[in-house]
Amino acid sequence: MMKLYNGKIILLGLAVFVGIVTFPFWFNMGKAAPAPVLKLDTPVIAKMPVKQCVRPTAFMKAGHMQLLNQWRDTVVRDNNRVAPDQAGVMREMSLSNTCMECHSNKTEFCDKCHNYVSVAPYCWNCHIQPKENS
Ligand code: HEC
Ligand code: HEC
Ligand code: HEC
């Protein structure tokens, strides 16, 4: 009888101990880092009849940095400044003039997502960061 009682105390103690030790992990579950809500409507995007990026959205989410590198290389090495977007519209391959023309709300769009994943592109040391317009 006594033995069983002690066993229960030990199990309870153990459960409390495990709970405390793992507290930081389960306490943060689901609430540590709510995904940022990105603001996609800007004056230019609002006027688009079909709201789409230069490449499919899924690609842009994961691959916009590669696309920017590719644009840079094409401009700087091949001196070719225009290319068709996914809809076939010819666009200047430009960070400031093209991406930021549509996404004119850098702080509410690019920065919000970058802060969430802790990246800080250094591009703005040289490239003009256009005036915010959202
Ligand atoms: C012609 C306007 C336009 C241009 C130019 C443009 N975008 Fe977009 N972009 C959009 C629109 C509209 C969406 C939302 C598409 C959707 O809802 O599926 C979008 C979506 C995105 C997304 C995905 C956001 C998300 O998580 O839902 C990223 C990232 C992005 N753009 C980055 C860029 C970058 C970087 C450039 C330049 C290389 C660029 N865009 C150029 C209009 C544009
Ligand atoms: C949906 C989230 C999201 C949005 C919106 C977004 N980015 Fe990013 N961006 C990322 C992530 C994640 C990385 C880091 C990828 C990696 O390290 O592989 C990144 C990396 C980059 C890089 C490369 C940085 C480096 O130092 O290598 C550039 C340049 C960049 N983003 C530009 C932009 C611009 C410009 C916009 C707005 C027009 C934008 N991004 C919007 C998620 C986003
Ligand atoms: C040390 C300065 C410097 C930094 C930092 C820099 N660039 Fe550039 N970039 C240039 C110069 C100079 C050109 C050539 C300008 C031209 O011919 O229009 C250029 C051209 C480009 C172009 C094509 C032209 C245009 O209008 O956008 C893209 C795209 C580009 N860079 C993307 C990036 C991205 C993305 C980053 C950050 C990951 C970055 N650059 C960081 C200096 C820089």
Q: How far is the CA of 64 from the centre of ligand 2 (A)?
A: 6
Q: Quick one: which ligand is closest to 114's CA?
A: 2
Which residue has the CA at smallest separation from atom 43 of ligand 1? 53
Q: How far is the C-alpha of 109 from the C-alpha of 65, rounded, in Å?
A: 15
- Mean pLDDT over residues 33-43, rounded? 91
Which residue has the CA at smallest separation from atom 34 of ligand 1? 99
Give tens-digit pLDDT for 69-82: 999 999 999 999 99
Whole-number pLDDT of residue 1: 52
Which residue has the CA at smallest separation from atom 18 of ligand 1? 57
Neighbours of 90 (CB within 10 A): 9
Whole-number pLDDT of residue 8: 76
Burial of 32 from C-beta contacts in 10 A (0-12 / 13-18 / 19+): exposed
Q: Would you place residue 24 in the very low, low, confident or very high pLDDT band (cuts 50, 70, 90)?
A: low
pLDDT score of 17 more than 80: no
Left if phi > 0, otherwise alpha if psi is -120 to 50, otherwise beta: which for 50? Answer: beta
Q: Which atom of ligand 1 has the smallest separation from the CA of 56?
A: 18
Residues 114 and 120 sit within 8 Å (Cβ to Cβ): yes
